[in-house]
Structure 1
């Protein structure tokens, strides 16, 4: 579970922060009104307020545009959920959060005030003035103290879950299993190098390209001589596209190259690129009786080294997750957990007899259908987030990207 500390305020709120709400009735806010009141559940005597659960569900509805009763009922039916079962899913997530915090406290894990303040100051620096910062906080339905508390909680969560990291090396069988899983994702991957020129130096870029095409220049040597990107010292290598996020212009040009081929001059927001595709990966495949083609990896060694590292990390992360889940299951079994009945007047309650699921989509009497979200998306979403949350902002800022090892390099996004 990675920290959400580098997320923008709206993203932190979307992850289910207790103080977040688009209304002034968020629990813990300065205008602490009551949405539904009462206690939804208790964990070892610690209460989980009904308002906390209600505000989270209402935030979920707003996030997916399910604010009217019809679309909400359709979503629940199509997801094989009821207001009661959804509420229980959310409560269970808060139960696990409470157990995690109790475990961290027992382990003596606390957030360092200076570190927490560093995250607050970093986020605050994105705004032109304190007034803009306070407006952003208000828009997320939280105070600066609440934001600071959330960062502290995320740091504690991150440090505590790290105690379950596995030091055991995955077996050959486990590595092969993950290699087979990942090989389809890596299929068609391309490794590339590039030479980056400033946007106003097209003449030099064109001259270098012509010399590369004639064989007069070696690409790696030319990158070391001319490139303004941090990858120059490595011959311009920026790794595999499946392990990186390149700007659209770069990726589009790379998609059109075969192994050993050069691009024409490619203009992006970072300047002018000359791109060379240095390697490709296409695993062996098998075709099923129904015509389905799938990757057929028989040995981890068939993957490039960088992909082998991804596979190894995934296998170890799985063991760490299993360790944490085993602890969590044990804690749940020994904890005193009481979930109270759902109040009838909560705003997300609807009469589910009006809705039914057909072919994965819910329909009303008039046949209207709506897109759905899987039940998994309502579980485990409070507030840790998932590993590698896609919405997290990467360090380095505009003009930087990742190379094949996950390092920041200029010229790629």
Structure 2
């Protein structure tokens, strides 16, 4: 089957990173403009409803602002697509989702109702457990509560299924060294820091603690454990490396001005008052060429901090898991009995393409995006149902509230 170009284009347009699997798992309740009641395809006997395919395509049109026939037709032409190819690719996405369901069933992978309940309860809490706000969010996203629950269940199952391809095999030293080179270049100049967080308005206490630290009367880590209101207090205030986290702007600006072992003044952010200490700086080893140009050169993985190596190992294991999943899907899809029925007439998205020509000769559909379908199935699984909040919440009602408690990831903002 074809690469899901429509989903690639949707990703380029800046829509959900999970693409097919966030969208196809739950079709919009209001998106379909023409109910056919027919069957678009069968996947090992399981039916893909024509109305679900239409609803998903119409949902994508809406997200791209291409509801008008002229805008939709021009978009299709500009991306070298037709209503027929869009339908085929959407069916392909639904078929892959169905194959994953069937594969998970064969492996005995199931999702308990309590798991779904926990996700939905957590998501509702982001709307203050206010049913009116919750229903409004569902409506805005085009979900019914039943369909949203189905989406969460599908994502949890798909996540479990994807994880079943994980291997305990450790990455080779060769792979680790190769990735270390890339990470060293990306993390050159990274700074590690600790901080002490005081409540907004508690300037007097913050200044007193800072004076004691600067006078050598109080150790920074001890001060963090005693005074900090942040979840990092029990670690002496350590919040890790800046290039592995996303800190609030005020914190980042202050940290950028510090050298190793230097302590900042009082730094105010929306979370309170910070005292920041730069505890380490990573300078990547370099070699100088004949022309005097310096380039990063890693000869041993021991040249990287442990935290970087842990990230590299996790990335390599994830890559192998993805490759194993992709291999399974390709083989399973090849053996599957997938039958696509003829496209019905008068579908809402079936415009006359003879009216439209591409504005440019450049194919925009794949620029800067990964392939849709199976690739996004794996990507989507990593976010999983944790990111299954309705509308544009991204799993977080405010978009900035740190996860895991009132200040557990301060000063980092939740991604």
One fold, TM greater than 0.5? yes
Report how far residue 306 of structure 1 moved: 0.3
The change in CA–CA distance for 1:75 and 1:329 in structure 2 (over 3 A counts) is same
Aligned residue in 2 for 1:357: 360
1:47 alignment counterpart: 47
Please state how far the C-alpha of 1:105 moved relative to its aligned partner.
Answer: 1.4
Number of aligned residues: 384
Could you tell me which residue of structure 2 aligns to residue 385 of structure 1? 380
> Any residues of structure 2 matched to 1:222-261 within 5 Å, and which?
222-261=223-262
Once the 2 structures are TM-superposed, how far is the Cα of residue 354 of structure 1 from its aligned partner? 1.0
Which of 15, 18, 24 in structure 1 is aligned with 2:22?
15
Aligned to 2:282: 281
Aligned-partner Cα distance in 2 for 1:66–1:301? 52
Aligned partner of 2:370 in structure 1 is 376
TM-score normalised per structure 2: 0.79
Q: How does 1:1-400 map to 2 (within 5 A)?
A: 15-21=22-28, 23=30, 25=32, 34-35=34-35, 38-69=38-69, 71-73=71-73, 75-77=75-77, 79-125=79-125, 126-285=127-286, 295-343=296-344, 345-350=346-351, 351=353, 354-358=357-361, 376=370, 378-380=372-374, 381=376, 385-388=380-383, 392-393=394-395, 400=402
Q: Which deviates more from structure 2 when the two are superposed, residues 276-285 or residues 389-398?
A: 389-398
Q: Report the equivalent of 1:365.
A: none
Which residue of 2 is the match for residue 366 of structure 1? none
Report the Cα distance in structure 1 between the residues aligned to 2:53 and 2:378, rounded to whole angstroms. Answer: 12
Contact in 2 for aligned 1:93/1:382 (Cα 8 Å): no
SS of 1:239 mapped into structure 2: strand
Distance 1:356 1:397, change over 3 A: closer
CA contact under 8 A between 2:123 and 2:395: conserved in structure 1? Answer: no
For residue 100 of structure 1, report the CA deviation from its aligned partner. 0.7
Q: 1:261–1:74: structure 2 CA closer, same or farther, 3 Å change rule? A: farther
- Distance, in Å, in 2 between the alignment partners of 1:21 and 1:292 is 55
Check the 8 A contact 2:251/2:411 in 1, yes or no: no
> Aligned equivalents of 2:36 and 2:378: distance in 1?
21
Distance 1:41 1:287, change over 3 A: farther
- Distance, in Å, in 2 between the alignment partners of 1:410 and 1:186 is 21
Cα distance 1:75–1:195, how it changes in 2: closer, same or farther (>3 A)?
same
Inter-partner Cα distance in structure 1 for 2:53 and 2:27: 11
Give how far 1:377 is off.
Answer: 6.0
* Alpha-carbon shift at residue 394 of structure 1 (Å): 6.9
**Cα deviations by residue, 1:182-240 (Å, 9 ceiling, x for unpaired):** 33332332110011112222122123323333444332232233322222222211111
